[in-house]
Amino acid sequence: MTAPVPAPAPVRASASAGRPAGARRALVAGSVGNFIEWYEFGVYGCFATVIAAHFFTPDGGSAAQGLVKAYASFALAFFFRPVGAAVFGRLGDRIGRRPTLILVVSLMTGATTLIGALPTYAAVGAAAPWLLTLLRVVQGLSAGGEFGGAVSVMTECAPPGRRGLYGAWQSFTVALGLLAGAAVAALLATVLTASQLHDWGWRVPFLLTLPLGFVALRLRLRLDETPAFASAAPQRGGPVRRPPARETVRAVVLGAGRVMGWSAAGYTFLVVLPSYLQSTLHTTFRQALVATVLANLGFAAAILPAGLVSDRIGRRTVMLAGALLVAVLALPLLHLVRDPGTAAYAKGAALAGAGAAVGLMAGPGPAMLAEMFPTSVRYTGLGLAYALSNAVFSGCAGLIITEVVDRTGDPDVPAYYAAAACAVSAVALRTLRGDDHARALR
């Protein structure tokens, strides 16, 4: 129990929230912020080598050193995600999902757009990497508040027996965002010369976030509060009923363990891959982008079916299958991609298969996390579990892989990283009850 808190502003509950139109509106409004967030991360991953040259290696340092610094900035944003999850999650559990999601999408849009307008090291000196890092921090804070709110909205508004499918849309829009980022980067690499892309073309994808953000803001302004929060919100200054703090902490740690394989393998195969292929296997920028698109297509194709199947047979079976597939096949798949004698179509199939295995975890994952927490702490709890897992196992993926490969010369490091995380995740997933998907949200 907590001490009484002042009554919040009246909650605008939707009269139609339980009907298909209200559920679809919640689905779209919850998804759009995820799309913008992961579009930016996809763009940053694709242009990491260009960003490193502009902001982190002004004096002609090695490409590997610049890439490590660029990924350090990338990782720093992830370490602010748990802070954002805690701050915005607390806000979302107190005043509502709708106003909090409006705030986080506004912050995310502003920070991403400003990255596209930043002066480089050549223009403002040492201030440039610090400004970039500051904006990455703001992105990390807003992204930390995005996931918990979006998944809460999707799952709390889902029709009975459809939480897995509705929650899977969060992961599906992650795939769409990553694909959109890679597609925009590939288009620019096609229509611009290498010098144009390096000089100013890399800014265009970040600036495109501004109109996307206005669309997201408009959709969220039209969003109604979820019926679960509306019915659970304290009225007339009454106490907020929350589970004991130690129970919530245990659930957060367990939830982070269950999704760590998703986090590590997802970033290894879907975000870090372009820079790894360029810096380690010396592929061209365009070849690396094609490989990334194939991996993300496999990821996207598996997500919604995985969420739908998890509504029928349970989250545990589907997510365990994905974790074990990555743990067993990561190294053979990487060897296949690296083998110069392997046909191009076989490499493409291997990359798509790796993405699909991650999709088996990502599809049921949001609903699984939502089912671990009651309404009074759901925004905070599932947001923290996901943010902590991402901070440790996603944000550090590029930094760890690039640094270890550079120091050891072992090109198999990405496979070891993804496989180890998925093996541990499989152990945590074994603790899931087989009927959690059939139970009502608390």
Neighbours of 17 (CB within 10 A): 21
225 forms bridges with which residues in the sheet? 13
- 11 CB-side CA count, 13 A: 25
This model's pTM is above 0.85: no
Token duo for residue 39: 């579009």
Is residue 375 within 8 Å of residue 359, measured between CB atoms?
Answer: no
DSSP string of 383-406? HHHHHHHHHHHTTTHHHHHHHHHH
13 forms bridges with which residues in the sheet? 225
Q: What is the pLDDT along the chain (442 residues), one digit of tens a residue?
A: 444 434 444 444 443 344 455 778 888 888 888 888 888 877 887 787 788 778 876 665 555 666 666 666 666 777 888 999 999 999 999 888 889 999 999 999 999 999 999 998 888 888 888 888 888 889 889 988 998 999 999 998 888 889 999 999 988 988 888 788 888 888 888 898 888 888 898 899 999 999 989 998 998 988 888 888 877 765 544 445 677 788 888 999 999 999 999 988 988 887 777 666 776 667 777 777 777 788 888 999 999 999 999 999 999 999 999 999 999 998 888 888 777 777 777 878 888 898 999 999 999 999 999 999 998 899 999 999 998 888 877 767 767 777 787 788 787 888 888 999 999 999 999 998 877 777 778 7
Separation CA 178–CA 192 (nearest Å): 21
- 435 CB-side CA count, 13 A: 2
Q: What is the 3-state secondary structure (H, E, C) of 284-350?
A: CHHHHHHHHHHHHHHHHHHHHHHHHHHHHHCHHHHHHHHHHHHHHHHHHHHHHHHCCCCCHHHHHHH
Separation CA 204–CA 393 (nearest Å): 29
Cα torsion angle, 401, 403, 404, 405, sign? positive
What is the residue whose two structure tokens read 């120091």?
Answer: 407
| CATH fold for domain 20-233+242-438 | Growth Hormone; Chain: A; (1.20.1250)
- 118 CB-side CA count, 13 A: 27
Q: What pLDDT does residue 11 have? A: 43
Q: What pLDDT does residue 383 have? A: 92
Separation CA 124–CA 440 (nearest Å): 55
Q: What pLDDT does residue 7 have? A: 41
Which amino acid, one-letter code, is at 121? Y
What is the residue whose two structure tokens read 């990555």?
Answer: 326
Distances (CA, A) of 135 to 32, 73, 141, 351, 379: 21, 10, 10, 32, 24
Token duo for residue 408: 């050891």
Domain boundaries, the chain: 20-233+242-438
Distances (CA, A) of 117 to 159, 177, 328, 393, 402: 43, 21, 44, 30, 27
Torsion-angle region of 225 (φ positive above 0: left; ψ -120 to 50: alpha; else: beta) = beta
Q: What are the residues whose beta carbons fall under 8 Å from the beta carbon of 287, sequence distance 6 or more? A: 277
Q: What are the residues whose beta carbons fall under 8 Å from the beta carbon of 65, sequence distance 6 or more? A: 56, 57
170 class by beta-carbon count within 10 Å (0-12 exposed, 13-18 middle, 19+ buried) = buried
Token duo for residue 400: 């760890």
Is residue 411 within 8 Å of residue 405, measured between CB atoms?
Answer: yes
